[in-house]
Amino acid sequence: MGGDPSILIHNARVWPSADAPVIEDGSILVRDGRIETVGRFQARAGTRIDAGGALAMPGFVQAHVHLCQTLFRGAGEDMALLPWLRKVVWPMEAAHDRASLMASARLACAEMIRGGTTSFLSMETVRGTDATLEAVAECGLPGVVGHCLMDDTGGYPPLAVDIDDGLAECDVLADSLRGTPTLRLAVAPRFALSCSADSLREAADFARSRGHLLHTHASEQTSEIEWIRERTGMDNVRYLHECGLSGPDVCLAHCVQVDLRERALLAEAGTNVLHCPGANLKLGSGLAPVPEMLDAGIPVGLGADGAACNNRLDLFAEMRLAGLIQKVRLGPDALPARDIVRMATQGGAAAIGWGGETGVLEAGRRADLVLIDLDDLSILPGDDPASAVVYAAHPGAVVLTMAAGRVLYENGDFTTLDVGRVRRDARDQRRKLARRAGIGRG
Ligand SMILES: [Zn+2]
């Protein structure tokens, strides 16, 4: 084997960012996991990849996902949020073991890699996050993995964990990630209804003292915000703010039900919002006021949420839905395709704390990119990249996914995953998990 580990992707239509023009017949030189050069140039490299005229763009940032829920796909259809959590999601999370967590994470990573996702922020469950981290590390997908905290589960003991134990576990997990720059830990109180006010404050203080991202769910449904108003006398976003959960190091998934005052508070604090249109539609939660939030200067990323409520982990589907739902709310020009691509790339990267690291193809950034076949029958003629990516493209059009300079997927083949095993384990572990949880036939 030669000694030159550099990779040159050439013969590509390079789209460096949502705001940049396409570079025809462009190239990208990658060395040591980072982008060295982007543009029209010739160079020697250890490995040459002919893109065949495909679109080369930043890999997608899946800004809200639950890897541990991928095995729950299809288990709780046509239910409202709070009963769905209580009767399906929580019992299945409580029934997870190491093997089922790893099978779930591998399946999630395989689906995300095939769909051009190159980094993610997830919320896992209250136990076993070490198994999830191990599976993600094997897959080679960069990510921020949230360890879930729940100390006040309203009479559902199996997932209740004392906050001090939960935070001690966060320290152990963060220690295990030293020397792995593509994986980070987030501190993730589940949502205001499953955490005491004291535990929210402790989690916020703890995360800040160690430089971890804070991640929670907020204002997904009216039933949830009514409960919180009853318990605290406050609107949810205000309550979270009072508990320390606001600011540039905080990621709030959903924010569907947020009024003008709450939006002003989010903007003022610089709190990040993670928009999940597919899950919001499927759980009947509503249509998030995304154009208004962007206009107010609130940073917004895009996510699928878990496979239990989407059911795909497909950023193409989320981009398309993000555009379509705003057309119904505010008219056809409410959220241009370019703005949606920005949310799915650099917007999401900034939201999850990787703003300078990924989301744009430029020298010095991590080499996280996707090649999309513009000759795909759903995409042709595909002249405008934003329109092609948001409204026409799909995971089947992804020809190559590279994360941190490593090709993870190329022409249907995975390089870090045995996809036959992923499939077998998904079926087998789902059956065992459903049996342990006492849910359906699995
Ligand atoms: Zn979620």
- 269 alpha carbon – ligand 1 mean position (Å): 22
Domain range spanning residue 374? Answer: 7-58+361-414
Same domain, 86 and 186: yes
Same domain, 117 and 94: yes
Question: Is 440 domain-assigned?
Answer: no
- 191 alpha carbon – ligand 1 mean position (Å): 9
Question: Is 341 domain-assigned?
Answer: yes
**What does the alpha-carbon distance between residue 297 and residue 315 come to, in Å, rounded to a whole number?**
23
Q: For residue 319, give the CATH number of its domain.
A: 3.20.20.140
For tokens 């065949």, the residue is 52
Q: What is the pLDDT of residue 152?
A: 93
Q: For residue 372, give the CATH number of its domain.
A: 2.30.40.10
Same domain, 196 and 283: yes
**Paired residues of 221 in beta bridges:** none
- 286 alpha carbon – ligand 1 mean position (Å): 15
- 56 alpha carbon – ligand 1 mean position (Å): 30
Question: Is 268 domain-assigned?
Answer: yes
- 365 alpha carbon – ligand 1 mean position (Å): 28
- 218 alpha carbon – ligand 1 mean position (Å): 9
Same domain, 122 and 245: yes
Q: What is the DSSP letter of 338?
A: H
Question: Is 424 domain-assigned?
Answer: no
- 27 alpha carbon – ligand 1 mean position (Å): 37
- 414 alpha carbon – ligand 1 mean position (Å): 27
- 217 alpha carbon – ligand 1 mean position (Å): 6
- 98 alpha carbon – ligand 1 mean position (Å): 21
The total number of structural domains that make up the chain: 2
Q: What is the pLDDT of residue 154?
A: 83
Same domain, 369 and 269: no
- 292 alpha carbon – ligand 1 mean position (Å): 22
Same domain, 46 and 189: no
Question: Is 110 domain-assigned?
Answer: yes
Same domain, 100 and 48: no
Same domain, 315 and 182: yes
- 82 alpha carbon – ligand 1 mean position (Å): 12
- 28 alpha carbon – ligand 1 mean position (Å): 35
- 427 alpha carbon – ligand 1 mean position (Å): 23
Q: How far is CA 393 from CA 77, 163, 173, 186, 377, in A?
A: 27, 43, 37, 31, 10
Question: Is 420 domain-assigned?
Answer: no
- 306 alpha carbon – ligand 1 mean position (Å): 6
- 123 alpha carbon – ligand 1 mean position (Å): 7
- 114 alpha carbon – ligand 1 mean position (Å): 21
Q: How far is CA 126 from CA 21, 169, 189, in A?
A: 44, 9, 9
- 304 alpha carbon – ligand 1 mean position (Å): 8
Q: What is the pLDDT of residue 442?
A: 40
Question: Is 346 domain-assigned?
Answer: yes
- 117 alpha carbon – ligand 1 mean position (Å): 17
- 126 alpha carbon – ligand 1 mean position (Å): 14
- 39 alpha carbon – ligand 1 mean position (Å): 38
DSSP-derived secondary structure for 181-234: TTEEEEEEE-BGGGS-HHHHHHHHHHHHHHT-EEEEEE---HHHHHHHHHHHSS
pTM of the shown model: 0.97
Q: How far is CA 195 from CA 162, 217, 386, in A?
A: 10, 11, 40
Peptide bond into 21 cis (omega under 30): no
Same domain, 12 and 45: yes
Q: What is the pLDDT of residue 287?
A: 97
- 385 alpha carbon – ligand 1 mean position (Å): 29
- 14 alpha carbon – ligand 1 mean position (Å): 33
Structure-token pair, residue 150: 């729940």
> pLDDT under 70 in the chain at which residues?
1-2, 440-442
- 216 alpha carbon – ligand 1 mean position (Å): 8
Residues 6 or more apart whose CB falls under 8 angstroms from that of 33 comprise 366, 367, 404, 405, 406
- 187 alpha carbon – ligand 1 mean position (Å): 14
- 147 alpha carbon – ligand 1 mean position (Å): 13
Same domain, 154 and 48: no
- 205 alpha carbon – ligand 1 mean position (Å): 22
Same domain, 277 and 382: no
Handedness of CA 354, 356, 362, 366 (dihedral sign): negative
Same domain, 324 and 401: no
Question: Is 419 domain-assigned?
Answer: no
